[in-house]
Structure 1
Amino acid sequence: MLNRLVKILIADDHELFRKGIISLLLKEDKIKIIGEANDGKDLIYKYFKLKPDLVITDISMPEISGIEAVRILSKKDPDVKVIFLSMYDGDDYIYHSIKSGGLGLINKNISKQELMIAIEYVSNGKKYFGEKYTEEQINRIVNDYEEHSHNSLTDNIEQLTNKEKEVLTLLAEGLTTSEIADKMYIGQRTVETHRSNIMEKLNLKSYPQLMKYAITVANTLKKQQP
């Protein structure tokens, strides 16, 4: 149980989900919601303005992704405490959450009980990636990923056209098909075609796999942009 007041900033580009998390936590005596952010850029601004004890943020958001926003925050404030939210989980997400400076990752379908456990852990500077992950397992995931996965994944980028790389970058930022179409000045069906071509070239079998790949290679893609 929490033994002190924890001030929380919540970031998610979906207002209904953001309000849902807030409503779950409002009745907790030791929790105070001090602000909301609707994208990564807003999260960075609100963090330094409001100075929360803990940030709960979606991984994929417009403008700047949650991962990138936390990477920026952790460079300026190494003591930042962050729990990431995602519809997906797995080793890739754990790795990138930790490398950006986050201490936790929980699925958006989490129960209130486990959310409270995550808040207790992370607010005290401990890692939390679900009940099934021990500290030893988390460290092994990070080590294994750095040794084996990153090079093979990023090498595959060169199979993609520049337009496909741009679609992948925008997916990693959390943009929807219609938002990508507007930003690239193309039709939604063209975006869907690019997405299908990416999945075929990279042998990705599902949308969650595509999102994992997009987040994994996001930094490499940005470095390649003119």
Structure 2
Amino acid sequence: MIRVLVADDEPLIRAGIKMILTSADDIEVVAEAANGRDAVELALRHTVDVALLDIQMPLLDGLSALAELGRAAPGIRVLILTTFGERDNVLRALRQGGAGFLLKDTAPGELIAAVRAAAAGKAYLSPTATRHVADSLAAEPAVSRGEEARRRISALTGRERDVLALLGEGLSNADAGRRIHMSEATVKTYVSRILAKLDCENRVQAALLARDAGLSA
């Protein structure tokens, strides 16, 4: 059973997320919080597997709560809840090691899939979320960031770069494999190798690096 904490200062949002998640037979919402401080304390007390944190919360915002959980319990996977207008904060969260992010209007099936992926140790970046991140990156001055990203990916082989470009599109291992005619297991092996070479904690960070470098499939 996947143990989940939901943290959002809006009761209706929490209730909706809880209703969706508990419809899955392998997910249990064991704690709810209306602010970031309580979210950290409850996540540690209830030994949760996945924490869903809203970015904008009183007492302690989602990014600060993410940082505290990273120090106190790095095994807890954190998914960030956000709205369209908070993309800059989302980029910060992903670069700080968050397991992924979800828009608050995410479809129920995608929410459940994201929690399952995070609990399995995978990062989750939905295609919709990827497009929002790409929009943010395109609007930022990115010369120095792009140069650094290109320097880092220069260590990859051509096939590794192909796989990284697909990560940048937010594709799953299975979808990436279909695109480049590889088995899902082979793609998984490539992803592990890419993360090690790029010194990325998860595939979301690798996807952002692909975007910074201007990789396209």
- Bin of the TM-score, shorter chain as denominator length: 0.5 to 0.7
For residue 18 of structure 1, the aligned residue among 10, 14, 20 is 14
- Matched residue pairs, number? 142
CA RMSD of aligned residues (A): 2.3
1:131 to 102, 110, 127: 127
Cα distance in 2 for residues equivalent to 1:89 and 1:97: 15
Q: Quote the residue 1:181 is aligned against.
A: none
- Contact 2:21/2:111 (<8 A) preserved: no
- CA drift of 1:118 comes to 0.8
What is the aligned counterpart of 2:28 among 32, 37, 44? Answer: 32
CA distance in 2, matches of 1:117, 1:50: 22
Between 84-93 and 18-27, the greater mean CA deviation after superposition: 84-93
Return 5+ residue gaps in structure 1 as ranges: 146-226
Q: TM-score, with normalisation over the residues of structure 2?
A: 0.59
- What is the aligned partner in structure 1 of residue 55 from structure 2? 59
Structure-to-structure mapping, 1:92-171, within 5 angstroms: 92-131=88-127, 133=130, 134-136=166-168, 138=204, 139=206, 141-142=208-209
Q: Deviations over 1:122-179 (max 9, x none)?
A: 111111121354534542535776xxxxxxxxxxxxxxxxxxxxxxxxxxxxxxxxxx
Distance in 2 between residues matched to 1:83 and 1:38, nearest whole Å: 16
Distance in 1, matches of 2:43 and 2:25, equals 22
Moved more, 104-113 or 18-27: 18-27
Q: Which residue in the other structure is 2:65 paired with?
A: 69
Structure 1 residue ranges, 4+ long, deviating more than 4 angstroms after superposition = 142-145
The reply to whether residue 7 of structure 1 matches residue 8 of structure 2 is no
Identity of aligned residues (%): 26
Q: Which one of 40, 43, 67 corresponds to residue 47 of structure 1?
A: 43
Query: Which letter maps to 2:84?
Result: Y
- Compare CA radii of gyration and give the structure with the larger one: 1
